Amino acid sequence: MVSYQHFQVVKRYPLKDYALLTNDAFHVTTMKKYGITNIARNDPDFERVEWIKIWKP
Protein backbone atom coordinates (compact mmCIF):
# COMPACT_ATOMS: atom_id res chain seq x y z
CA MET A 1 0.00 0.00 0.00
CA VAL A 2 1.31 3.45 -0.91
CA SER A 3 1.27 5.94 1.91
CA TYR A 4 2.06 9.61 2.40
CA GLN A 5 5.53 8.60 3.63
CA HIS A 6 6.26 6.92 0.28
CA PHE A 7 5.56 10.18 -1.54
CA GLN A 8 7.84 12.06 0.85
CA VAL A 9 10.67 9.63 0.10
CA VAL A 10 10.17 10.05 -3.66
CA LYS A 11 10.31 13.84 -3.28
CA ARG A 12 13.73 13.63 -1.57
CA TYR A 13 15.57 12.17 -4.55
CA PRO A 14 16.13 13.90 -7.93
CA LEU A 15 14.33 11.29 -10.01
CA LYS A 16 13.46 13.72 -12.82
CA ASP A 17 16.90 12.96 -14.26
CA TYR A 18 15.95 9.31 -14.73
CA ALA A 19 12.51 9.83 -16.35
CA LEU A 20 10.96 6.92 -14.43
CA LEU A 21 7.34 5.95 -14.09
CA THR A 22 5.92 6.40 -10.60
CA ASN A 23 6.06 2.68 -9.83
CA ASP A 24 9.72 2.48 -10.86
CA ALA A 25 10.48 5.63 -8.87
CA PHE A 26 9.11 3.96 -5.73
CA HIS A 27 11.43 1.00 -6.34
CA VAL A 28 14.45 3.27 -6.83
CA THR A 29 13.77 5.43 -3.78
CA THR A 30 13.20 2.38 -1.60
CA MET A 31 16.47 0.91 -2.87
CA LYS A 32 18.29 4.18 -2.16
CA LYS A 33 16.78 4.48 1.32
CA TYR A 34 17.88 0.96 2.33
CA GLY A 35 21.21 0.89 0.48
CA ILE A 36 20.12 -1.73 -2.06
CA THR A 37 22.14 -1.56 -5.28
CA ASN A 38 21.08 -4.75 -7.10
CA ILE A 39 17.80 -5.54 -8.82
CA ALA A 40 16.61 -8.45 -10.97
CA ARG A 41 14.48 -6.95 -13.74
CA ASN A 42 14.06 -6.97 -17.50
CA ASP A 43 12.89 -3.35 -17.43
CA PRO A 44 15.34 -1.17 -19.41
CA ASP A 45 14.22 1.96 -17.54
CA PHE A 46 16.44 1.04 -14.59
CA GLU A 47 19.52 1.23 -16.85
CA ARG A 48 19.29 5.03 -16.60
CA VAL A 49 20.09 4.85 -12.88
CA GLU A 50 23.88 4.60 -12.81
CA TRP A 51 24.26 3.19 -9.29
CA ILE A 52 21.92 0.21 -9.83
CA LYS A 53 23.36 -3.16 -10.87
CA ILE A 54 20.73 -4.95 -12.98
CA TRP A 55 20.52 -8.72 -13.11
CA LYS A 56 18.39 -9.85 -16.05
CA PRO A 57 16.58 -13.15 -15.41
Tally of CB atoms within 10 A around 26: 17
pLDDT of residue 32: 84
pLDDT of residue 12: 65
Tens digit of pLDDT for each residue in 3-46? 666 666 666 666 677 788 878 888 888 888 889 999 999 989 99
Query: Which stretches of 1-57 are assigned E, i.e. beta strand?
Result: 38-40, 53-55
Q: At what angle do helices 22-34 and 4-12 cross, to 10 degrees?
A: 80
Torsions phi, psi for 38 (to 5 deg): -115, 145
Please state the domain extents for the chain.
4-55
Give strand pairing partners of 54.
39
